[in-house]
Amino acid sequence: MRASPWLISLAIATGLSACQPAQRAEGNASDAGAGEAPPPMAAATSDERSYAFQCGDVAVQATYRGQDSASVVVEGRTYPMASEPAASGARYGDGQGNVFWTKGTTEGTLQLKGEPDRSCTGSGEQGAAAPLPTAQDATAAGFRATGNEPGWLAEVAAGATPHLRVETDYGQRTLEIAAPTQGKDGWSGTAADGTPVKLTFQRTVCQDDMSGQAFGATAMLTVGARQYHGCGDFAGAPALAAKP
């Protein structure tokens, strides 16, 4: 029996009308997805800011990376810390009992495991973190390092041509190297009497163990087979003068 053309047309129309809502819904969902912005990605935190604090008897440098983490340097030792909940201010801890908690940039508290809490006073922002200086950078501005027990002094003259002068044993012995070899982290050479001399530095906060003064670098002086440890700064080294 042949189907009536009228019935065939009715069946096709019914099928199309049943499919249209689904197609429209599918199209709307696709359009909505295309129009929506993707979820925001966490921005890379390249903006690092450093602040200097004096916490009781120790100098502290805190470098913040966004709001989630910080590196806290205390007497040459670095404590990587993460943000922790705080009723006020910014609190960072390492999960080992060491906490640095500040209110603004001028006051705070340093808590080191096994030690009494220290109140901190900030001296303000030190600027964005900069690349670590090399010996060439330090030579251009001058470098000076000192240490105690026994007292010693090492100076690198400012200028294009380095000149290293060393005094050891409270000034009883003086050595000079007119053109020391520059490395990435210091200078080395041989004095006129044949003594090998090497002065190296590391860019960490250093505190003088007698005066308590804070410096921008730890320093190590090697004269022959003897080593001397102390602190140094990259700028403001006085001009070298011949010792009378």
Confidence (pLDDT) at 122: 79
% of the chain residues with pLDDT over 70: 66
Decide which of 1 and 241 is more confident. 1
Confidence (pLDDT) at 94: 93
Amino acid of residue 156: V
Confidence (pLDDT) at 61: 87
* 48-128: CATH architecture: Beta Barrel (2.40)
In sign, the C-alpha dihedral spanning 191, 174, 140, 137 is: positive
The pTM of the full predicted model, rounded to 2 decimals, is 0.44
Confidence (pLDDT) at 17: 45
CA gap 81, 98 in Å, rounded: 9
Residue 57, classed as helix, strand or coil, is coil
pLDDT tens per residue, range 144-163: 899 998 899 999 886 667 78
Banded pLDDT at 178 (limits 50, 70, 90): confident
Which helix (H) or strand (E) is 233 found in, with range?
strand 226-233
pLDDT tens per residue, range 189-241: 999 999 999 999 887 778 787 877 777 788 999 999 999 999 988 764 333 33
pLDDT tens per residue, range 95-142: 999 999 987 667 889 999 999 999 998 765 554 444 444 555 555 557
Confidence (pLDDT) at 110: 94
CA gap 91, 179 in Å, rounded: 48
pLDDT tens per residue, range 22-31: 444 333 433 4
CA gap 89, 104 in Å, rounded: 7
Q: Taking 50 as the threshold, does the pLDDT of residue 13 lie above it?
A: no
Note the Cα 160 to chain centre separation in Å.
Answer: 28
Confidence (pLDDT) at 22: 40
Which helix (H) or strand (E) is 29 found in, with range?
helix 5-35
pLDDT tens per residue, range 45-92: 445 678 888 898 888 888 887 778 888 999 778 899 999 988 777 899
